[in-house]
Structure 1
Amino acid sequence: MDQNLEIRGKVCVTGASGYLASWLIKRLLLSGYHVIGTVRNPENEKLAFLWQLEGAKERLKLMKADLMEEGSFDDAIVGCEGVFHTASPVVGPNSDPKVEILDPAIKGTLNVLRSCKKSPCLERVVLTSSSAAIRARDDFDSQIPLDESSWSSIELCESLKIWYALSKTLAEKAAWVFANENKIDLVTILPTFIIGPSLPVDLCSTACDVLGLLKGDSEKFSWHGRMGYVHIDDVALIHILVYEDRSANGRYLCCSTVLENYELASLLSKRYPSLPIPKRFMPLLKDRAYYNYNTSKVESLGFNFRSIEEMFDDCVASLKEQGRL
């Protein structure tokens, strides 16, 4: 262990085995925090990668918790000064979207916050929301970049069956109501599409889409259309930044670059000529509104985003190291 490392307080990270959560835990451990990670089954062999993180053997503890069980986060959160709630369903629904996506996102968030309310030493909660809670609307001015004041339209999400965006929007709105009513210091992070190295053994749906794109599967990425991109390490660092900076408040949009999928494909095919990057995509929606993001709020805290090239360089290197490319 680094003898000069400043040992910090105890924090909880929900959904510890996830793509972003595992990277956040890596960064928290490197920063000297004691981390309680919640998972469905602490004995799962696929969690071995977490114990290989620097500082894990000394300052990581995994505890069982379930989003749909009220009170199941109590033991993990009690005694923690901070909570990072990242756990949320991402995969597309196979049958009932309410059961598979909406309930776990909304009820799970409220279950975590109820446990936070019971912890006397809690200082701040950082909730991972999504830019999907901002951009799914049809009444914005394409000349004005979207920022933290924007909210996705619940009616539009329901009519188009955009269940992920709906779950993130409703869960974040519910979190703000609960936090305000119960005087919980809440900050929310709204990342765009996250790119970068994957620590878990199994790739999440996000990482699978990127792998599909790099292997020439245009269908895998066609639905993305215009999209913002951000490095996974930047998102993890911003979580810690807004937790530690007591001037931070409200929502924080995290995005480095916004591109159409054909612009991304062009950039990637030139950068990685040996990979079969698709040259064309079928448009998802005709006359899709142009949009951009205003990230000045998080930049005002002194944060600078990594480039689209750097995030994909790190992603490609990781996939090659894992033998996937």
Structure 2
Amino acid sequence: MDHGTVCVTGASGFLASWLIKRLLLSGYHVVGTVRDPGNEAKLAHLWNLQGAKERLRLVKAELTEEGSFDNAIMGCAGVFHMASPVLGQITNPREEIINPAVNGTLNVLRSCKKNPSLRRVVLTSSSSAVRVKDKVDPRIPLDESSWSSVELCEKLKKWYALSKTMAEKAAWEFCNENGINLVTVMPSFVVGPSLSPTLGSTASDILGLLQGETEKFYLYGRMGYVHIDDVALGHILVYEHENAEGRYVCNSIVLNNDELVSIISARYPTLAIPKRFEQHDRSYYDFNSTKIKGLGLKFKSIEDIFDDCVTSLVTQGHLSIP
């Protein structure tokens, strides 16, 4: 079935690659934006996808370059904006992550505004745009009505959360002013097989945990988890459902570090998974994903999430199980 043409920004990324896989399997034509369409090694995993040769086109675009998304977006019925600044060692957060995230989102949306064929924009936000708050009632799971505090993000130096919160708020303001049909998806920590043989930051953090590293996950503390395929399917659901509107929390389960390592170390006893973590003095919270479940999304369990991730890491040669 031909679903028409959609654009996916940041096409080579961990999650965007999975979305493109799912879109192609569903019969869509996909225009993906990348920084260098000629980088065959970095893009091979996309060209290997079923349907890619027939229905995938990759074009150059830069988040920070005004108008560079015009060509990719023109004529598309839908746009999935997933491109975001690459995280690394941050020395100047406003210049390195916050401004590129906000201005890049507005750059994409300005291109959307020029496209008379556009039906809907789906923006990938983050659960970190929901949960960084001064007061969280532990008895009430956080839902789409919750926004992270910009002031608290700045105070705690939560630059990723700040960039996602500010970019999403800027997107809502722009789309409301310009009559663009926007829906946002807020995944928690995305885990699962990486289509690219080069691991991104998320998959690298999981690999580190499985090999006994504790630093990253200690900093994460209590966290929500969701399977990468569920997030991809969730994006397509909110795009296709006529009545989909507003924000959608996309999370399978929220766990403390000790709960997480207890589950995965029981499944993989020969791996050097840490047994316990030093406890954070942080608020207990949970997420409410009822809204996206109402569109028909069924979440995979934490066991399935990590089984698929481990299998992929082993298959790609990143991890060996004694």
Give the TM-score normalised by the residue count of structure 2. Answer: 0.97
CA RMSD, Structure 1 to Structure 2 (Å): 0.9
* Runs of 4+ off more than 2 Å: none
Who is 2:276 aligned against?
Answer: 280
Q: Which residue matches 2:207? A: 211
Aligned length: 318
Specify the code of the residue in structure 1 equivalent to 2:13: G
Letter in 1 for 2:33: T
Structure 1 residues 50-108: Cα deviation after superposition (integer angstroms, max 9, x where no partner): 10000000000000000001100000000000000001125144311111110111000
Say if 2:233 and 2:297, in contact at 8 Å, map to a contact too: no
State the match for 1:83 in structure 2.
Answer: 79
Deviates more, 1:39-48 or 1:10-19: 39-48
Taking the TM superposition and a 5 Å limit, the aligned residue runs for 1:32-71 are 32-45=27-40, 46-71=42-67
- Is the counterpart of residue 259 in structure 1 residue 259 in structure 2? no
C-alpha distance in structure 2 between counterparts of 1:257 and 1:133, whole Å: 17
Question: What SS does the aligned partner of 1:310 have?
Answer: helix
Whichever residue aligns with residue 7 of structure 2, its letter is: C
Other-structure match for 1:3: none
Distance in structure 1 (CA, Å) of the matches to 2:275 and 2:256: 12
Kept in 2: contact 1:219–1:281 (CA 8 A): no
* 1:147 counterpart = 2:149: no
| TM-score of the aligned structures, taking structure 1 as reference length | 0.96
State whether structure 2 residue 200 is matched by structure 1 residue 197. no
Deviations 1:176-217 (A, max 9, x none): 000000000000000000010001221111111000001111
Structure 2 CA distance, aligned partners of 1:279 and 1:92? 28
Structure 1 residue aligned with 2:5: 10
Q: Indicate if the aligned counterparts of 1:188 and 1:251 stay in contact, CA closer than 8 A.
A: yes
Tell me the alpha carbon deviations over residues 84-140 of structure 1, each in whole angstroms, 9 at most, x when there is no partner.
000112514431111111011100000000000000100000000000000001122
The answer as to whether partners of 1:228 and 1:255 remain within 8 angstroms in 2 is: yes
> Mapping of 1:132-171 within 5 angstroms?
132-171=128-167
Cα distance in 2 between the residues matched to 1:213 and 1:91: 19
The answer as to 2:215 corresponding to 1:223 is no
Counterpart selection for 2:293 from 296, 299, 303: 299
Partner deviation per Cα, 1:277-312 (whole Å, 9 max, x = no partner): 1112233x42x1000111111111122111011011
User: Partner of 2:122: helix, strand, or coil?
Assistant: strand
Q: Does the C-alpha gap of structure 1 residues 190 and 93 become closer, same or farther in structure 2, counting only changes over 3 Å?
A: same
**Alignment-mate amino acid for residue 281 of structure 1:** F
Alpha-carbon distance between aligned partners in 2 of 1:269 and 1:291, rounded to the nearest angstrom: 24
Q: 1:322 aligns with which of 310, 313, 316?
A: 316
Mind listing any 5+ residue stretches in structure 2 that lack a counterpart?
Answer: none
Hey, what's the Cα distance between the residues in 1 that align with 2:90 and 2:243?
42
Q: Is the 8 A contact 2:15 2:232 kept in 1?
A: yes
Give the aligned partner of residue 31 of structure 1: 26
Distance 1:48 1:296 in 2: 37
User: Does residue 1:20 correspond to 2:20, yes or no?
Assistant: no
Q: Check conservation: 1:93, 1:100, Cα contact below 8 A.
A: no
> Which consecutive unaligned segments of at least 5 residues does structure 1 have?
1-5
Alignment-derived partner of residue 236 in structure 2:
240
Checking the alignment, whether the CA contact within 8 Å between 1:213 and 1:277 is kept in structure 2 is: yes
What residue in structure 1 maps to residue 123 of structure 2?
Answer: 127
